[in-house]
Structure 1
């Protein structure tokens, strides 16, 4: 049984539709007690980190999610849910759940620290580290924040079992202004390119989180959700 965390900050309807399409059994609830008997959990989210953390504390989901992670039960974070599982977010300067080590930073904040080539691209992308992915030819100056749209990925560090059956160059749908900056780069299982290398999937232990929206990413995204349901 899949549990969906409803904390007044989630992209709930699209997740429900995707699970319904997959004919998956699920429970959606604002009450942590209703999800205790689930064997896997989806933690979605859109919106602002500070507000989301306030809602998690009001509902008791903050301690519930920490206990869930300590018990090593499967947890999938999506978008904002992939960010506030880390320690701190620049968005609202708020302490987050701390399930994984690292911070969440705004694109502009990260871009300022990365040198660019004479063509305006992140220099780390010039040497084929991620094959410049789908944004070859675009300069950082031409990119808008928030990052909204479709990007393909480059798998890293052995990828994740949740990508099994997903073509390596599949496109996924992103909507975000902030990006994950994990303390341990080895937990990054896929990157996107948007003026810098953007962690698109991170995984450690029983936790896997996606900066993009698998539930809005067509067949490839549905395959990820299907893999999660069966893992």
Structure 2
């Protein structure tokens, strides 16, 4: 069993790769759809700007690959936001796998939302064995609205989707690779239970 990590113009690939190494998981980092198609599951990390990332995905033929992949697929942070239908970040059109619109935090909040925060209503196999109210690490200025696809939520000025789920697609707004033992357990659940 091998996990593919999508390499594109958004960062964070190295942190995810190191987290998988700590779990003893074999992985392949690639931006080639044919190489990734041979993997048993995919992780789609991301730190960066949506429009640049979406253009890079299109140029590499990864948009079509992502939309047609039928095995377990996990989007992290920007990776999850790109899977949503659209984003206020430069009014970009997302891939439409998840329904929520991605909006920018507004008001008197310090942006980005950065640091540890609490998960609520954790309803996903990703959270198997993890206590309700566990904390994970966030770094983001945009958030996915709550929807029927929300599998957990968090509050920063308002409630937002901390994770999303639809079929074989999973998304987390937080960074499991930076979330200590809880994050490692979430990644392990993805690797073992999907």
**TM above 0.5:** yes
Task: Find the counterpart in structure 1 of residue 93 from structure 2.
Answer: 95
Moved over 3 A (4+): none
- TM-score normalised according to structure 1 size: 0.80
For residues 205 and 27 of structure 1, the distance between their equivalents in structure 2, rounded to whole angstroms, comes to 23
Quote the residue 2:134 is aligned against: 170
CA shift for structure 1 position 59: 1.0
How far is the alpha carbon of 1:4 from its aligned partner? Answer: 0.4
Q: Counterpart of 1:215 in 2: which secondary structure?
A: helix
1:21 matches 2:22: yes
1:50 maps to 51
SS in 2 for 1:16: helix
Equivalence for 2:152:
190
Q: Which runs of 5+ in 1 are unaligned?
A: 112-140
Query: TM-score with structure 2 length normalisation?
Result: 0.95
Q: Secondary structure at the match of 1:101?
A: strand
SS in 2 for 1:92: helix
Q: Please list every run of 5 or more consecutive structure 2 residues that lacks an aligned counterpart in the other structure.
A: none
Structure with bigger strand share is: 2
Structure 1 residue 43, shift from structure 2 partner: 0.6
The SS at the match of 2:83 is coil
Partner secondary structure for residue 55 of structure 2:
helix
Question: How much does 1:152 deviate?
Answer: 1.1
Measured in 1, the distance between the counterparts of 2:44 and 2:103 equals 20
SS for the counterpart of 1:155 is coil
Between the aligned partners of 2:85 and 2:155, the Cα distance in structure 1 is 24
- CA displacement 1:186-208 (0-9 Å, x = unmatched): 21111111000021011111111
Q: How does 1:95-114 map to 2 (within 5 A)?
A: 95-108=93-106
Structure 1 residues 140-151: aligned runs within 5 Å: 141=108, 143-151=109-117
For the pair shown, the structure with the greater C-alpha radius of gyration is 1
Partner of 2:121: 155
- Return the alpha-carbon distance in structure 2 between the equivalents of residues 14 and 167 of structure 1: 25
Equivalenced residue count is: 192
What is the alpha-carbon distance in structure 2 between the residues aligned to residue 206 and residue 30 of structure 1? 20
Q: Which residue of 1 aligns with 2:163?
A: 201
* Number of the residue aligned with 1:78: 76
Distance 1:200 1:219 in 2: 18
For residues 189 and 44 of structure 2, the distance between their equivalents in structure 1, rounded to whole angstroms, comes to 16
Distance in structure 2 (CA, Å) of the matches to 1:189 and 1:35: 26
CA-based RMSD:
1.2
1:180 deviates by 0.5
